[in-house]
């Protein structure tokens, strides 16, 4: 557990991502800093315009609770839950803030409530409460109205009520108050989005809600099927992934934030509050292995629903299935002065060949798990398979969504092969006699021959990023993981070795994705997902000890709360990119289960 030191008179403009915890309620998620500040909250949904966005600009809204004198802070989660506990220690005593949001599955109305339980632990500590919402990413300053029960922040279109027994004063565009807590004393703050009046805080029954939330999370995580040495890490990753699920539809977002940079001060800043089709194969593999059939099934049902809407298969969708996600920039300072700050994502307009294979791999896993594809769904999957058969020779933008033009990316061709092979397997499982499986098999064989011929570069001694290239790409570690080649194949081993030699980003097992120009200015950090793929490839290669060393080192790169961003700084190990990042947590879960699988094979299970 890491300790952070703060002076309330000199709080940092931007905190490291490691100093944040995540809470959520099945529709949205909120980042809470170790200094007690809620710096990111989009209410009531993941893609709603933020009301608290100090994460991206100190002027863009904050809801803070912290001691009035210098303090040290630690954060932890209550075991088996997403209830976040921040503990402040001052020379005069210790207090805790317990943050949570009621988790209410299948609710009909879009509401959002943030509960903050302030608890005296030892001595006597004075706390300052600072409430300064800024609607629409900081562009609208709401009017504040005092009430006997708290404060109401409102514009013509939006309201947030803060209910508390702590007296608050309104100063221009923020409300502030102080409270002293001694050992055994407690009080609640409840921020209620959408409330048009301030209710007495007792109405919210905070302790009852806290009990309900604890019970929900502990019952949910008890379903986890894994009980090995990495149980704690897998548990936290699953609890984090659950917070990324938009329960009304089943969509799973990549991350709950936008524009956290891949390098401090750089321009590689993207909005990840959407659902990528590419993630589907990795999501279903992780959830099904871990025993979360209901969540995996709900996600695929939602994804197939988007497919059945007609139109081309998209790279990503909004959480309600939106297809139009225009990208624009906001006039915000940016985290660590990194610009631009973007909302929306123009990658939705790209052609990325690999997504077909991801979807068909997910559909096959769904069927193997006992899911029942409808006739209409199977017909649409057949049509998509035919699309792959007809389009696999076209260049695309690749897994990394390069903005430098289209190429014949090796990763994309491998996943085109996956699409045709999985469709063939699915047709046979379904007894679909009319499916042209022989045609699909022949086409898959053509793809494989072409990749082995055109993607292999004898000069480099490895498969390279795209045909004719000499650039290495860590995404090609996926080859043995999807069955394209066995891990023992000499070409796989050589590609693995070249990646370790030339894409190494500091200490083993950190890797850069690639080092060649991708049409976007500025550097980036070490990408975590390929390092988890590396763990799997090492395990499949029989290098179990080295795989465990790699995984243990990756576990050392988590935040104090067990959370991952998309990347890490290769020198300082600072977390970089949107946070927390689902892909990284999926990579961890799948790597752990792969290690378990290979270990059991070696032990003769």
CB 241 within 8 A of CB 585: yes
Run of H or E residues at 72: strand 71-77
- Where are the CATH 1.50.10.10 domain residues in the chain? 223-603
Quick one: average pLDDT of 344-349?
93
372 vs 149, more confident: 149
CA gap 116, 95 in Å, rounded: 12
d(CA 363, CA 304): 9
264 with 338: CB under 8 angstroms? Answer: yes
Per-residue confidence band for 45, with pLDDT thresholds at 50, 70 and 90: very high
- pLDDT at residue 503 greater than cutoff 70: yes
Q: Indicate whether this model's pTM tops 0.95.
A: yes
pLDDT at residue 542 greater than cutoff 80:
yes
Strand partners, 180: 126
What would the pLDDT profile of 488-497 be if each residue is shown by its tens digit?
999 999 999 9
Rounded distance, CA 59 to CA 61, Å? 6
Comparing 230 with 109, the larger pLDDT belongs to 230
Instruction: For the chain, give the percent of residues with pLDDT over 70.
Output: 99
Question: Across all residues in the chain, what is the average pLDDT?
Answer: 96
**50 vs 414: CA distance, rounded Å:** 39
Measure the CA angle with vertex 42, ends 41 and 47; round to 5°: 145
Could you count the other beta carbons within 10 Å of the beta carbon of residue 13? 11
> By the 8 A CB rule, do 332 and 365 touch?
no
Collect all residues with Cβ–Cβ distance below 8 Å to 339 and sequence separation of at least 6: 267, 269, 329, 333
Residue 477 CB coordination number (10 Å): 27
Statement: residue 518 has pLDDT above 90: no
Report d(CA 298, CA 483) in Å as an integer.
26
The answer, yes or no, to whether residue 605 has pLDDT greater than 60, is: no
Residue 249: how many other CB atoms lie within 10 Å: 20
pLDDT digit string (tens) for 165-196? Answer: 999 999 989 999 999 999 999 999 999 999 99
pLDDT value, residue 314: 95
Contact of 237 with 104, CB cutoff 8 Å: no
Helix (H, G, I), strand (E, B), or coil: what is residue 384? helix
List where CATH 2.70.98.10 sits in the chain.
4-219
Query: Residue range 27-37: average pLDDT?
Result: 98
Dist CA 9 CA 521 (whole Å): 37
User: What was the pLDDT predicted at 454?
Assistant: 98
223-603 belongs to which CATH class? mainly alpha
CB 41 within 8 A of CB 28: yes
More confidently predicted of 109 and 449: 449
Give the integer Cα–Cα distance in Å for 350 and 428.
32
Residue 228 has pLDDT above 80, yes or no: yes
Quick one: how far is CA 414 from the chain centroid? 25
Please, what is the Cα angle at 231 between 302 and 590, to 5 degrees? 45
pLDDT at 244 (0 to 100): 98
CATH code given to domain 4-219: 2.70.98.10
In angstroms, the CA 510 to CA 505 distance is 5
Overall size of the chain counted in residues? 605
**Residue in 295, 254, 258, 298 with CA at minimum distance from that of residue 277:** 254
User: 367 pLDDT exceeds 90?
Assistant: yes
Q: Is the pLDDT of residue 523 over 70?
A: yes
Please check whether residue 189 is in contact with residue 116, taking contact to mean a CB–CB distance below 8 angstroms: yes
**Where do runs of H (alpha helix) occur along 369-456?**
375-391, 410-430, 437-450
> Quick one: pLDDT band at residue 107, thresholds 50, 70, 90?
low
Higher pLDDT, 506 or 176: 176
Is pLDDT of 457 > 90?
Answer: yes
pLDDT band at 55 (very low <50, low <70, confident <90, very high): very high
Q: Per residue in 547-588, pLDDT tens?
A: 999 999 999 999 999 999 999 999 999 999 999 999 999 999
In which band, very low, low, confident or very high, does the pLDDT at 105 lie, cut at 50, 70 and 90?
low
What pLDDT score was predicted for residue 11? 80
Mean pLDDT of 97-116: 86
In angstroms, the Cα distances linking 142 to 28, 195, 272, 293 are: 21, 14, 27, 43
Residue 205 has pLDDT above 60, yes or no: yes
Residue 477 binned pLDDT confidence (cut-offs 50, 70, 90): very high
Confidence at residue 603, expressed as pLDDT on a 0 to 100 scale: 75
The answer to whether the bond into 44 is cis (omega within 30° of 0) is yes
Confidence of residue 288 (pLDDT cuts 50, 70, 90): very high
Indicate whether 108 pLDDT > 80. no
For residue 227, pLDDT beyond 60: yes
């Amino acid at each position: 557990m890491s300790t952070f030191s703060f002076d309330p008179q000199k709080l940092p403009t931007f905190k490291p991502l490691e100093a944040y915890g995540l809470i959520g309620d099945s529709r949205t998620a909120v980042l809470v800093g170790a200094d007690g500040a809620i710096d990111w909250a989009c209410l009531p949904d993941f893609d709603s315009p933020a009301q608290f966005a100090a994460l991206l600009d100190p002027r863009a809204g904050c809801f803070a609770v912290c001691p009035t004198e210098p303090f040290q802070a630690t954060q932890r989660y209550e075991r088996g839950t997403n209830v976040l506990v921040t503990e402040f220690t001052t020379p005069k005593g210790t207090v805790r803030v317990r943050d949570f949001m009621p988790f209410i599955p299948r609710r009909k109305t879009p509401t959002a409530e943030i509960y903050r339980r302030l608890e005296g632990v030892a001595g006597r500590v004075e706390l300052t409460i600072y409430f300064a919402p800024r609607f629409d990413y900081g562009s609208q300053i709401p009017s504040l109205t005092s009430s006997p029960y708290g404060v109401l922040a409102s514009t013509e279109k939006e309201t947030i009520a803060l209910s508390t027994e702590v007296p608050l004063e309104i100063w221009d565009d923020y409300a502030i108050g102080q409270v002293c807590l001694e050992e055994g004393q407690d009080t609640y703050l409840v921020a209620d989005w959408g409330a048009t009046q301030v209710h007495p805080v007792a109405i919210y029954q905070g302790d009852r809600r806290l009990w309900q939330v604890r019970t929900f999370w502990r019952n949910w995580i008890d379903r986890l099927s894994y009980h090995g040495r990495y149980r704690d890490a897998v548990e936290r990753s699953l609890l984090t992934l659950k917070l990324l699920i938009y329960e009304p539809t089943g969509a799973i977002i990549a991350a709950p934030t936008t524009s956290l940079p891949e390098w401090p001060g750089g321009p590689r800043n993207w909005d990840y509050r959407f659902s990528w089709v590419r993630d589907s194969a990795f999501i279903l593999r992780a959830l099904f292995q871990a025993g979360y059939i209901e969540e995996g099934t709900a996600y695929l049902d939602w994804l197939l629903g988007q497919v059945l809407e007609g139109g081309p298969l998209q790279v990503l969708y909004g959480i309600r299935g939106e297809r139009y996600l225009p990208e624009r920039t906001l006039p915000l300072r940016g985290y660590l002065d990194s610009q631009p700050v973007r909302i929306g994502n123009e990658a939705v307009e790209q052609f990325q060949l690999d997504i077909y294979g991801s979807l068909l791999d997910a559909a096959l896993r769904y069927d193997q798990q006992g899911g029942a594809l409808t006739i209409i769904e199977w017909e649409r999957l057949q049509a998509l398979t035919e699309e792959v058969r007809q389009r696999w020779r076209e260049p695309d933008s690749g897994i990394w969504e390069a903005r430098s033009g289209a190429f014949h990316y090796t990763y994309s061709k491998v996943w085109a092969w996956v699409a045709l092979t999985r469709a063939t397997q699915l047709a046979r499982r379904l007894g679909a006699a009319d499916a042209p499986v022989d045609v699909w098999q022949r086409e898959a064989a053509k793809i494989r021959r072409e990749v082995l011929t055109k993607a292999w570069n004898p000069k480099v001694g490895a498969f390279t990023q795209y045909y004719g290239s000499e650039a290495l790409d860590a995404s090609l570690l996926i080859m043995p993981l999807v069955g394209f080649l066995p891990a023992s194949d000499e070409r796989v081993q050589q590609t693995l070795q070249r990646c370790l030699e030339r894409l190494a980003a500091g200490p083993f097992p950190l890797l850069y994705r690639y080092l060649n120009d991708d049409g976007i200015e500025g550097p980036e950090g070490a990408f975590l997902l390929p390092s988890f793929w590396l763990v799997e490839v090492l395990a499949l290669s029989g290098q179990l000890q080295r795989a465990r060393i790699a995984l243990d080192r990756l576990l050392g790169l988590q935040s104090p709360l067990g959370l991952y961003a998309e990347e890490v700084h290769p020198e300082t190990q600072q977390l970089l990119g949107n946070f927390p990042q689902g892909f990284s947590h999926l990579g961890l879960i799948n790597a752990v289960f792969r290690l378990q699988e290979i270990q059991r094979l070696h032990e003769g299970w």
